[in-house]
Structure 1
Amino acid sequence: MTAVRPVVGEGTSLDLIVSDVRALIGPAAAIDESLLDAALRGWSANTRRAFQSDLTLWGQWCRKRRVAAADATPELVAAWVRALAGTDLSDETPRAMATIERYLVHVGWAYRMAALTDPTTAPLVKLEKKAARKRLGVRQRQARAIRFKGDIADLDSPASGVCLAHLIKACRRDLLGLRDEALLRMAYDSAGRRSELVAIDVAHVEAPDGQGAGTLFIPKSKTDQEGEGAYAYLSPVTMRAIARWRDAAHIDRGPLFRRVETHFDGSVAAVGRAALHPNSITLIYRRLIRAAHAKKLLGVMGEAELERWVAAVSSHSIRVGVAQDNFAADESLPAIMQAYRWRDPRTVMRYGARLAAKSGASARMAERLAEN
């Protein structure tokens, strides 16, 4: 058995996860730590955290049924799937199908790492998954898009509703606002995921060229765990926003986007040194939507509609909006994927599906017939 050593990366160490696996399957089982070590070094930090969390949930399910996890049967796993899918009455909160499948993958890995029979691969469990897919569907909830000018058909039209242009107008005229504007523009130009945005270092932003445009080096991303790196274009207006933020906050090195601490009355107290937490990106977007609404920038929008918008927004919303704007500009799928680091064309097409429905053949035919 190999020695326990820390996994290189964010926060989670091998010995901690070994403890979680051992707590699940019992102290007597011999864990293949070399297999576990290799898997964890290949997984992202988010996957490692999800692995631990999912094992905890499975362990709780087994304890409630008074069954040792090491002795779990396919029938027990199948019952868990039914509960998670909402098929059986249970105190379990129903989950999306993608979440259920992730749980089973991680639980199955734990059994295989302990050289135990994996109950998640049994035919009964496969059939229960099929039934759950039929009940829940496989369509994933998509973040509400934040496009540059909103939900418009013509990119030359004025900005409308919740959009990047209005969120930028809603930014405050102080350090907090300077950071927010730089973050919004960076997120749009790069279509950055939250993990990419918070990881941006001052050194990653290359100096502007003769026209004022710059480039962002992205050393690692969700689809580039090996760290090959990628580049994103930064417009002159984005480079100017970054320069204003850096000058005002006196940021010469280290993380570009940092926490801006405020007093009780909302005035700025200080700028932190550490990078923003990934979870803060969604909160910033939601705060700015509320600020835009308060400034009457969103047009006629009631409180109920505002709350629906806020609930549907996530850190991915601008990335979705970038994809839709590119489709509206008639950019090709390969060009969009290359520019914004997408590897799966199905993901990009899903982001553009709603926009395509409004501009596709059926929409053009309906408009033509309506004129007669």
Structure 2
Amino acid sequence: MTDSLPAPLPLHALSADADISARLAEFVRDKDAFSPNTWRQLLSVMRICFSWSQQNGRSFLPMSPDDLRDYLTHLQEIGRASSTISTHASLISMLHRNAGLVPPNTSPAVFRTMKKINRVAVIAGERTGQAVPFRLNDLMALDRCWVNATRLQDLRNLAFLHIAYGTLLRVSELARLRVRDVTRAEDGRIILDVAWTKTIVQTGGLIKALSALSTRRLEAWIAAAGLAREPDAFLFCRVHRCNKALLTEEAPLSTPAIEAIFSHAWQTIGPAEPARANKSRYRGWSGHSARVGAAQDMAKQGYAVAQIMQEGTWKKPETLMRYIRNIDAHQGAMVDLMERLRPDAESNN
């Protein structure tokens, strides 16, 4: 996704109406009210939808319900996932609201179109993609491989994966951690002061405590990298090929670099055969894998949904349930009833 519309089209020039342009200019000035990812998605959707509108002689802003319906159908025809199409519809609605316009999504025709798109996708076999879970036993296997590593990169990767699994933080949240965010509990274990997350944006922030083992692994990385006296440096930084940490205060570890940590872990202890492709991806561990695996392990150990949601800062139970649906499947009321009745039924035969 790009961060801007194709030149020379600025956001406020999307409409010839002066009032709409003024509201869009205000919208841009207030873009910090939204996460960078949301803003990038909005600009990407605007670019794609504007291009389609130009090519097909349709109005982009305001967009009529009929035009939106045709645009969403077009996305389905070119193979976009139903979740992606839903995102397009939501962001087009968001743009209209902030331009002071009635979103075309309010039309029953658009509602029916989205319902049809979802129904067709489900019947055709589309399923929500899910990262390959990185479970506790995977973490322990890596721990045995890398605990005495001489390569600084392995020590960093091991500490990172311990923190990723133990905190259930998103990769962007992990990358933002700085050395000054590390404090100690009375028993010596590390506490991380997370300034904000995708779903928690408040001055109090979020506190994440580490286990004794994860504390030792993070301590080993901090000592080896020489981070202890660099409070403003990012906690997880790049490592030069000469086995030296490249301390920085300017830019966190990039998403591709974090994905490479999970990829290296998969190459080290993962199965010989790659995982079955899920929506043409997820052939090994990826940035979301530790979060998914930790949630599944907690569910398997009987922790309540509310507890898991709190650990992972999920706001909607539906989001979490997508991760633990397979783990939770055999804990349903009907399965429990059948298991309870089975001994009596077998004794009668």
| TM-score of the superposed pair, with normalisation by structure 2 | 0.81
Match of 1:292 among 264, 269, 275: 269
Deviations 1:200-222 (A, max 9, x none): 11111112533x42211111001
Q: Check if 1:247 corresponds to 2:238.
A: no
Seen in structure 2, the aligned counterparts of structure 1 residues 80 and 100 have a Cα distance that, compared at 3 Å, is: same
d(CA) in 1 for partners of 2:214, 2:178: 16
Alignment of 1:103-118 (within 5 A): 103-116=88-101, 118=103
User: Which residue of 1 is the match for residue 153 of structure 2?
Assistant: 176
d(CA) in 2 for partners of 1:213, 1:18: 54
User: Which residue of 2 is the match for residue 196 of structure 1?
Assistant: 173
Whether the 8 Å CA contact 1:31–1:113 is kept in 2: the answer is no
Match of 1:24 among 11, 14, 36: 14
Alignment of 1:5-16 (within 5 A): none
d(CA) in 2 for partners of 1:228, 1:101: 33
User: Which residue of 2 is the match for residue 340 of structure 1?
Assistant: 312
The residue type paired with residue 335 of structure 2 is: S
The residue type paired with residue 332 of structure 1 is: A
Whether the 8 Å CA contact 2:262–2:285 is kept in 1: the answer is yes
d(CA) in 2 for partners of 1:140, 1:189: 25
User: Which residue of 1 is the match for residue 72 of structure 2?
Assistant: 81
Whether the 8 Å CA contact 1:208–1:236 is kept in 2: the answer is no
Whether the 8 Å CA contact 1:145–1:320 is kept in 2: the answer is yes
Deviation for aligned residue 1:260: 1.6
Deviation for aligned residue 1:31: 2.8
Q: Check if 1:98 corresponds to 2:79.
A: no
Match of 1:50 among 38, 41, 47: 41
Match of 2:131 among 112, 122, 143: 143
Seen in structure 2, the aligned counterparts of structure 1 residues 255 and 291 have a Cα distance that, compared at 3 Å, is: same
3-state SS of 1:128 partner? helix
User: Which residue of 2 is the match for residue 232 of structure 1?
Assistant: 208
Match of 1:258 among 227, 231, 237: 237
Whether the 8 Å CA contact 1:232–1:340 is kept in 2: the answer is no
Deviation for aligned residue 1:181: 0.7
Match of 2:288 among 294, 310, 316: 316
Whether the 8 Å CA contact 2:160–2:236 is kept in 1: the answer is yes
| Superposition RMSD in Å | 3.5
User: Which residue of 1 is the match for residue 195 of structure 2?
Assistant: 219
3-state SS of 1:31 partner? helix
3-state SS of 2:246 partner? strand
The residue type paired with residue 140 of structure 1 is: T
Seen in structure 2, the aligned counterparts of structure 1 residues 71 and 322 have a Cα distance that, compared at 3 Å, is: closer
| TM-score of the superposed pair, with normalisation by structure 1 | 0.76
d(CA) in 1 for partners of 2:191, 2:60: 51
Q: Check if 1:165 corresponds to 2:140.
A: yes
Deviations 1:104-135 (A, max 9, x none): 22223333444455434333222211111111
3-state SS of 1:216 partner? strand
Whether the 8 Å CA contact 1:182–1:245 is kept in 2: the answer is yes
> Structure 2: 5+ residue runs without aligned partners?
none
Identity of aligned residues (%): 26
> Structure 1: 5+ residue runs without aligned partners?
1-10, 87-91, 150-162
Whether the 8 Å CA contact 1:167–1:289 is kept in 2: the answer is no
Whether the 8 Å CA contact 2:3–2:44 is kept in 1: the answer is no
d(CA) in 2 for partners of 1:17, 1:226: 36
d(CA) in 2 for partners of 1:190, 1:215: 10
Deviations 1:45-73 (A, max 9, x none): 21111111111111111122144524643
Deviation for aligned residue 1:198: 0.5
3-state SS of 1:314 partner? coil
Deviation for aligned residue 1:307: 7.3
Deviation for aligned residue 1:310: 5.1
The residue type paired with residue 261 of structure 1 is: H
d(CA) in 1 for partners of 2:57, 2:15: 14
Deviations 1:145-187 (A, max 9, x none): 11102xxxxxxxxxxxxx2223334445311001001101111
The residue type paired with residue 194 of structure 1 is: V
Q: Check if 1:365 corresponds to 2:334.
A: no
Deviation for aligned residue 1:19: 5.8
The residue type paired with residue 134 of structure 1 is: R
Seen in structure 2, the aligned counterparts of structure 1 residues 126 and 310 have a Cα distance that, compared at 3 Å, is: closer
The residue type paired with residue 271 of structure 1 is: L
User: Which residue of 2 is the match for residue 4 of structure 1?
Assistant: none
The residue type paired with residue 185 of structure 1 is: H
Deviation for aligned residue 1:268: 3.2
